[in-house]
Chains A and B, each alone.
Chain A
């Protein structure tokens, strides 16, 4: 997406009486029900999107709690079986001196998801309130959240790879813990939540600011 100039100069399509197809991006006059090119249903603003954002956001948060309380990995060796949560595993790694890996884990599994929750919530709230930050920054924030969301799945990949590689029967085996499923769900729901957000609403506040009706 291109940005040009400051936000003050940006005209929204809605203000120009145009609605763009979200699938094929063709612009139509306001009021067009379906895109004549691709047949996609067209709305200028999806006001139900906020509800979906919040619903998925809550789901994601609900899943994030057990994802952190339950063990992520079950490591069984000959003599003992070890279960560690995400934070617990990172702390353990840090105690063993692997600060780098601990930092990565904490960043990818704790900091980024939490930041995502915060960012989505902020965006969803800010479209309703006036004291929001610059529209441009919020747009960037939205882009980043959407872009970075899929990378949170890296945790799940690590767990999947480990548990498929380390299966030595009685000697040692690694199995995914219940937290991995919840973590995956949490990531999926936050991604859905971010996708459900209609970013065009960011600019409506600007319009209200500029010309309050």
Chain B
């Protein structure tokens, strides 16, 4: 721009008409920059203002760490807003958090919305909100997916609601009158799997029961129908029954935090609508029986008269048909009716209350149909009897059983009285006595003595095992085995079979000779001869009775020699050897033992090859024959003795008569001396045999 300045020379006298000035003609182009900036700033400001969502006001009981400008509002864990201000409601009654919500989400926040504060929490079900330890708490919101009328004032919940808006599932409620431990947020388990969750338990307005909301997740809603029964699975249950002690709990979590489980015991339930109220039973058994109790059909009443008045039956005792409880004892009374029973004994009159539904009859379930069914069964032999319900308590129950050869009876109602069920022999065991007997027998067991003996035995065994001798046994055994090895491998032992063969041959020969010679006969002949000779002689008879006695002993010993005994002793020896070899310590000496065994094997093989075994058998047979002969011969000995005594009598008389005949006397004395020698030799042989029967076989 050119600045006009005054010109002093030659002023042209032109009428000057000032040019119409343009509005921005004097404006610098630099103004574009602030204008641009202004537009940008305004645009940004408008944009951010436009994108800004509405404010909502949520009331909480406590601030719980909410901070203005920091605490976020999250929906499905995504930040959709931020707390702008934390204040109090009028009168400081509550904390009001002013939350700026994202615009695109705000339209969904309608009366379905719920807000609660997420903070770290440790409970039996686990730890939740752990991330908020570092990041600080946040507010979780929940609303459905439908656009509704916007609201900006809410009351925040103090815990996460059980049923969040937009979440599908079966919404039911539970009632419980028992002292169950209904814990907030406890799981609902089915076969150990969590299929739902309890809400917050509350006491009903009248205070007579607790009620709790529950949600069955959508995937599992078909598990629940009107026949489903729920029971408390929290804690654990200890039961002692016929099958032993039983500890029952669902899971550690329910043990601590409580829980509810359920089952559908009968089929045919209807679909459950939202809002149905179920009862929570304390135990599974009660839940199960509640299925039947709930039937609307009138019970069938029957009367049973038991001849025996047995204690133990109580009101409420079960009535069972084939093990299934179909009813219970309703009342008990005594009955005395001379006209009906023919005596004045007191009988037990029991009224049964049967549930027709439990009979599982087809068609309509009613008392009439149940009665018809039972009448049919009674004509086929169904009878009532008392049976033991519990061995320990001695309680009784009423059992309906079919008796094969029962006398004819009918189940009929007489006049207005109840139909009377025929009975059969009771099957009650005196349980108390039985149990007592078992206990007393257990008591009588000499357990203490047994234990004392056992302890004594243990001590002795310990001392024995700990003694040095036993501990040195292996060494001794090894030495012994080495010696045995040496012995077995020695030539002399190797030659045993040969010697044995030779010996046996000799024994055989000897035995044969003995047989041939028929010593007894010869002895008799000799005695006869002597007796003949003795007639002529007289001499002293000293020593003869001893000889006889010795000979008798020999004979007895000969009779007593039994191979069986030998075999037994050998067996015993073998066993002892086995025992020694079987000790663990001996196993540690396999080298020596193997050698020994090898040698033994070798020797045995040689024995077998040398025919020694057969020879031994033959020899033993011969020896037995010889022994038999000896025994036979021995029978003759008394005769011999008689004859000898006769002989000696004669001889003594003769000798008295011929006292002077020295020549004859001397001869006779010589003869007697010879006889004495022979007898001595015989006695010596007998002693040798007695001492060592093997010598007879081995020829030594």
Contact = CB atoms under 8 A, between A and B. Distances in A.
A132 interface: no
Given A62-B37, A79-B134, A43 B28 contact: no
B21 to A, nearest CB: 14
A59 B31 CA distance: 9
B685 interface: no
A51 B33 contact: no
A52 B28 contact: yes
A196 B1 CA distance: 16
A137 to B, nearest CB: 27
Given A48-B28, A62-B41, A79-B134, A55 B3 contact: no
Contact of A59 (B26, B28, B37, B134): B37
A45 B4 CA distance: 11
Contacts of A56: 30, 33-34
3 A-B pairs closest in CB distance: A51-B28, A55-B30, A58-B34
B1 A55 contact: no
A74 interface: no
B38 interface: yes
A52 B26 CA distance: 12
B247 interface: no
A66 B638 CA distance: 153
Contacts of A151: none
Q: Report which residue of A45, A52, A196 has the largest number of chain B beta carbons within 10 angstroms of its beta carbon.
A: A52
Given A43-B3, A51-B26, A51-B31, 15 more contacts: A44-B3, A45-B3, A48-B1, A51-B30, A52-B28, A55-B33, A56-B30, A56-B33, A58-B34, A59-B33, A62-B34, A62-B37, A62-B38, A63-B37, A78-B134
A193 B134 CA distance: 48
Contacts of A52: 28, 30
Contacts of B31: 51, 55
Q: In the complex, which range does the number of interface residues on chain A fall in?
A: 10 to 19
B417 interface: no
A47 interface: yes
Nearest to A53: B30
A59 B1 contact: no
B27 interface: yes
B82 to A, nearest CB: 14
Nearest to B32: A55
Interface string B28-51: 101101100110010000000000
Nearest to B28: A51
30 contacts: A44-B3, A45-B3, A47-B1, A47-B3, A48-B1, A48-B28, A51-B26, A51-B27, A51-B28, A51-B31, A52-B28, A52-B30, A55-B28, A55-B30, A55-B31, A55-B33, A55-B34, A56-B30, A56-B33, A56-B34, A58-B34, A59-B33, A59-B34, A59-B37, A62-B37, A62-B38, A62-B41, A63-B37, A78-B134, A196-B30
Nearest to A80: B136
Contacts of A44: 3
Interface string A70-89: 00000000110000000000
A43 B3 CA distance: 9
A44 B1 CA distance: 12
Nearest to A78: B134
Nearest to A50: B28
A164 to B, nearest CB: 27
B116 to A, nearest CB: 24
Contacts of A196: 30
Nearest to A63: B37
Q: Most A CB atoms within 10 A — which of B28, B33, B38? A: B28
B287 to A, nearest CB: 51
Interface string B134-176: 1000000000000000000000000000000000000000000
Contacts of B33: 55-56, 59
Nearest to B27: A51
Contacts of B38: 62
Nearest to B134: A79
Interface in A8-61: 43-45, 47-48, 51-52, 55-56, 58-59
A79 B1 CA distance: 61
A47 B30 CA distance: 14
Nearest to B35: A55
Nearest to B44: A66
Nearest to A196: B30
A41 to B, nearest CB: 12
Interface in B549-589: none
Contacts of A47: 1, 3
